[in-house]
Structure 1
Amino acid sequence: MDPIELLNNQPHDPRDPDPWVALFLDRSLPMHERTKAALLVDQRSRSRQFLLPVVRPLARMYIVLFQVMKIFIPNRFTSSKWLHRLLAWGLRVWVSPEANFLILRHFHVGSEILDFIARNTKELNVPTSPIRPTNLEHVKDEIFLNHDLNLFNFVIRLNRALRDQGKTLTPPTRLDFSGVSDEFPLEELPDRWTNFLDLQSAIEVFTPVYQLFLTDRDFWRASNSLQLDETIAIYVATLLQAPGLVALVNNRHPMVPLTTLRAGFRLMLHGLSAESLHAFLVECKHGRMPQLARIVAPNFQPSSPEAA
């Protein structure tokens, strides 16, 4: 059943209210409806309830073991190409359609957030490398590794351009939302009896595999990239003159990186932060600002035709 229908049609018992339905109906934070429904259906799954508590400590144990192993043989098993082939197979065979939907959508969301910053700092000429997968075969194009590289490369290029031109990040006269999409063209995802694994369990299982097949430097960069959520949110908040946007972010303090043991949980927060930030941009694009008035400056001027 469609996740939206599943949550909407859930009967309401006042003596036993469903917490996932309550979260779905809540509109205190902007979020794409299909994405929110997929996330909550995934969170309420039996896989997350019963499998995650077993998988998580085992996965963290392997992270420690692989870290010790890489002290002695740092690059023995590294291959980003084979890693992504293995990830594509694992996603196709074992991971639920809701989780796969969230994973593929995340690359579009991240690409559009960086594109929004670049479009509204055109004088800096910062290039972007958007990643827009439409099916799980595109995972083989090393998109997880490239996603992390794109993020750090963007931060470096943006700030070098600002420094070289003697500028600071400032909002343009009129904001450009033309690169912000309401929907993404994702193909139908596998939904066989084997596709039962929830997103959090899948992340916990894949994290030590990710560590094993990547160099130590690549893995640490991937882990530390999660705390750049705060940095990217500050950029967007500066352009929108909406300082309250940073409150949507839970992965913070990139100059004090956390250990890799909690990378799986922080990756979930990373996805949530990105979705909330992108949904905020969609709301701004369409001029749906009343519910966001407290955190958006009163002189906000959208450039979208729909908001004119």
Structure 2
Amino acid sequence: MQAIEYDDSLPIEKEALKLWMKDLDNPFRWSLRPFFQFLFAILLHLTWFIKRLPLPQFSAHNFLQKTICWFCENFVSVEANVLILRHYSCESNIINFLIDNQYLDGEELPVNPIKLYPKKIGDMMEDSFVKHDQELFRCFKEMGHWQYKKNSEENVSWQHWQTVDIESLEIHKKKTQVFDFETSHALFMCLFCLLLTREEYRDAINGFNLDQSMAIRVGEIIEDKSLVEMAYNKFPHYLVGPWNLSQRFLMHGFFCEYVYSVLHNLKEKSV
């Protein structure tokens, strides 16, 4: 723990690292999480199997959103909630950075930027968990084939970039907020599968693999091919099921933190 606290080989904001180190120290992560992950992984695969049967499909986005937000506000630790809110902003920044820099010769932006920058849990109430994935797919589809045109470093655009400021996040601590990030995810992964259609859920758990594509594109813009090594989830053309979902989900979060940190530092140097 002391070693990784001081290891800055991989880029990550100090504030995010402190939050994660505290989350790792949560006793529930080492006691309840293994049991919950084992139990709910079995239930998840059963739910996935049932949803894949040729039965009428249903979804309940509003109920899913309200349930997750209620659980976050009352039972998820402050550290985990801040990491969740940070993730929305970090990934939105990365995608908007790609949108802003797809054309660097004065052409009009062909894609509407992502506006998911929640400041409090309540901001995620309206379809944010589902929209988070769908907005990623929308932007990749609307950007079309990658058309980045090499230009000078001074012309890199930060038009829709928003610095992630932890102090601006509104989290009201309650005594019942005790669950760490990974335990919380284990508790909700079955409900997420149940309350989405099979196509929505299939897309959601495979969207992580676009991390590699984002890393390639960002790396081309800033001329840093090492970013690809930071993507744990790769090969978007190969669709997978819910196996190893917890780790893939967590590593997607780390990837966004890493790339955000690289871009944030680059932006600070360019000012």
TM-score by length of 2: 0.91
Matches within 5 A, 1:266-305: 266-287=248-269, 304=270
Identity, in percent, stands at 24
Partner of 1:251: 233
The 5 A counterparts of 1:1-308 are 19=1, 21-70=2-51, 71=53, 73-76=55-58, 78-122=59-103, 123=107, 125-160=110-145, 168-173=147-152, 174-184=155-165, 186-287=168-269, 304=270, 306=271
- The alpha-carbon distance between structure 1 residues 188 and 72, as it changes in their structure 2 partners (threshold 3 A), is same
Task: Give, in angstroms, the shift of residue 176 of structure 1.
Answer: 1.9
Distance in 1, Cα, partners of 2:3 & 2:231: 22
Distance of aligned partners of 1:47 and 1:171 in 2 relative to their CA distance in 1, 3 Å threshold: farther
Two-structure CA RMSD over aligned residues (Å): 1.7
Higher relative contact order (CA 8 A, sep 6+): 2
Q: Distance in 2 between matches of 1:238 and 1:134?
A: 31
The structure with more radius of gyration:
1
* Aligned amino acid, residue 128 of structure 2: I
CA offset at residue 188 of structure 1? 3.2
Q: What is the CA–CA distance in structure 1 between the aligned matches of 2:212 and 2:4, rounded to whole Å?
A: 24
* Alpha-carbon distance change, 159 to 192 in structure 1, aligned in 2, over 3 angstroms: same
Whole-angstrom distance in 2 between the partners of 1:125 and 1:73: 39
Q: For the residues of structure 2 that align with 1:48 and 1:90, how far apart are their CA atoms? A: 17
TM-score with structure 1 setting the length: 0.81
Alignment-mate amino acid for residue 150 of structure 1:
E
- SS of the residue aligned with 2:158? coil
